[in-house]
Structure 1
Amino acid sequence: MRTGDISVLGRLVSASNATLLVEVTLGYGPGPRSARAVYKPVRGERPLWDFPHGTLADREVATYLVSEELGWGTVPLTVMREEGPFGRGSLQLWIEERQDDGLVDVVDPDHVPDGWWTVLEAEGAAGEPVVLCHADVAALRRMAVLDVVANNADRKGGHVLHALDGSVRGVDHGLTFHTEDKLRTVLWGWAGEPLAADDRADLERLVAALGRDGALGDRLLEHLLPEEVEVAHERACELLGRGEMPGPGGRWPAIPWPAF
């Protein structure tokens, strides 16, 4: 991922920014090692009114670094490549998903799976009642915690992957680490719920790593503005101090659009 040759296989056309499926190959001759990945070149980013232009790829890498510090493996391996087929950009390991075994769904109110959280009630395309809901599993709860710290403004249902190996992975983290509160997510089921004890312990370690003497803060400064790193530290401290998951704040839409 860090040094292999990148070959473009195709484009993910549903993405709003240039998002390419690539194969990364290390070595030649018999037995080269290769892996598929998602390549997001900076030059393919569309300008946004609220995020500085050309920073989304760096925010992808920054979210991965925070995920790794927490030790949760929520975000697939993500690196910055300075030289790619279309220039500088983020490279994230491709995750194969399970089919028909998602963890976020829109269903009939009478068919919410047992043990799932209901996030909201709505109407379908034909006016029928539906609910947005998600599973109640530890890996998904930790994704929600990560989103609070990273201030993820775009946690759509399609950004939650149930991998073939059973792990739960989150992708598409370009809209993160804004200094203003922009949390938009489909994972509101834990709003108001106390933090799990093991999540608290990991957050305490993250707070230390983001602090003035922590190494993570310096690494994040390679990808974020100083004030963005400072506010991320403040969010982690606030979450620990509150001891429970936040609910929608009311200033911004609570759920990204579209939700999937």
Structure 2
Amino acid sequence: MSAPERIPPRSVTATELLARGELKVRGRIREASNAALFCTVAYDGQEASCVYKPVAGERPLWDFPDGTLAEREVAAYAVAEATGWDLVPPTVLRDGPYGEGMCQLWIDATPESELLALVDGEEAGPGWKAIGFAEVGEGRTALLVHADDDRLRRLAVLDAVINNADRKGGHLLPTADGRLYGIDHGVTFNAENKLRTLLWGWAGEPLTAEAVGVLKDLGGSLADGGPLGTRLADLITAAELDATRARVDELLASGRHPEPSGEWPAIPWPPV
């Protein structure tokens, strides 16, 4: 008698694991301004580390009165997923030990000195893009620069679409396999222009052909009845969704990376 055929274990997607798995709190991430818990999640024989941010632990923000940080984090992942650029870790909205919240796959970052730097002088130099001058103590200033890196440039486009009001250096997570992820997208999608970021190095420059193609696809997906528009309608307000569509249209019309408006601080504080 022949041996029974072995059925290989079913592959579980990251979002399925996060959404359906048993969530266990292992500790608190103390650097976070809102409640952020380090957890493990296990489902169907697979386990991963993740971050769980319960809505109950969010501090109210006067300039983001609608919705929740958790919903906007999930909305940011939805847009990032639609771009195909894999810039935001898998993120879901689910119930947990402290109620509904955002659950995001944990990323083991490998710090790269090549992403941000302070340089003397007034020129960024080859391979770098200038952000602005920063005080470094004893009355001295230095030029803050970021790498002229395709991964960062894609992230700058994503931030312009989702209206990210808090793109800090600490929110950039490079990995050993060469990928780059952005995290902490709770203050995004405001109907008013609130773009605050360290990634101004391409301000006013033409968008890449790749970015234009992605934005055209986003525009179609964001339309009424489109898959992304339908998904975002459950996560952000109608006014915020309309503003997201308008930002995509404006980027395509200008064909350029946005520039600071001068109406508010363009760089978040602290920047790193």
The 2-side partners of 1:133 and 1:151 are apart by 21
Structure-to-structure mapping, 1:43-192, within 5 angstroms: 43-52=56-65, 55-81=68-94, 83-101=95-113, 103-109=115-121, 114-192=126-204
Which string of whole-angstrom CA distances, capped at 9 and with x for unpartnered residues, describes residues 45-93 of structure 1? 0111111265110000000000111111111101111x20111000111
State the shift of 1:215 in Å: 1.6
Contact kept in structure 2, 1:109 and 1:129, CA below 8 Å? no
8 Å Cα contact 1:43-1:54 kept in structure 2? no
Task: Between 92-101 and 104-113, report the one with greater CA deviation.
Answer: 104-113
Cα deviation, residue 182, structure 1: 0.3
1:163-242 correspondence runs (5 A): 163-242=175-254
Distance in 2, matches of 1:61 and 1:102, equals 29
Distance in 2, matches of 1:9 and 1:105, equals: 34
| TM-score, L = length of structure 1 | 0.94
Question: Structure 2: any 5+ residue segments left out of the alignment?
Answer: 1-17
Query: Corresponding residue for 1:2?
Result: 19
- The one-letter code matched in structure 1 to 2:35 is A
Quick one: distance in 2 between partners of 1:23 and 1:137? 32
CA-atom RMSD in angstroms: 1.6
C-alpha distance in 1, partners of 2:92/2:66?
Answer: 19
The separation in 2 between residues aligned to 1:18 and 1:132, in whole angstroms, is 30
What is the deviation of 1:122? 2.1
Quote how far apart the aligned CAs of 1:125 are: 2.9
Q: Distance in 1 between matches of 2:209 and 2:169?
A: 26
Deviation at 1:164, TM superposition (A): 1.8
Shift of 1:246: 1.0
Paired with 2:76 and 2:55, the residues of 1 have a C-alpha distance of 16
- Give the equivalent residue in structure 2 for 1:22: 39
TM-score normalised by structure 2 residue count: 0.90
Q: Which residue is 1:11 aligned to? A: 28
Cα deviation for residue 102 of structure 1 reads: 5.0
Distance 2:137 2:93 in 1: 40
Count of residue correspondences? 255
| Structure possessing the higher radius of gyration over alpha carbons | 2
Structure 1 vs Structure 2: percent identity of aligned residues?
50
Shift of 1:251: 1.3
1:34 is matched with which residue?
A: 47
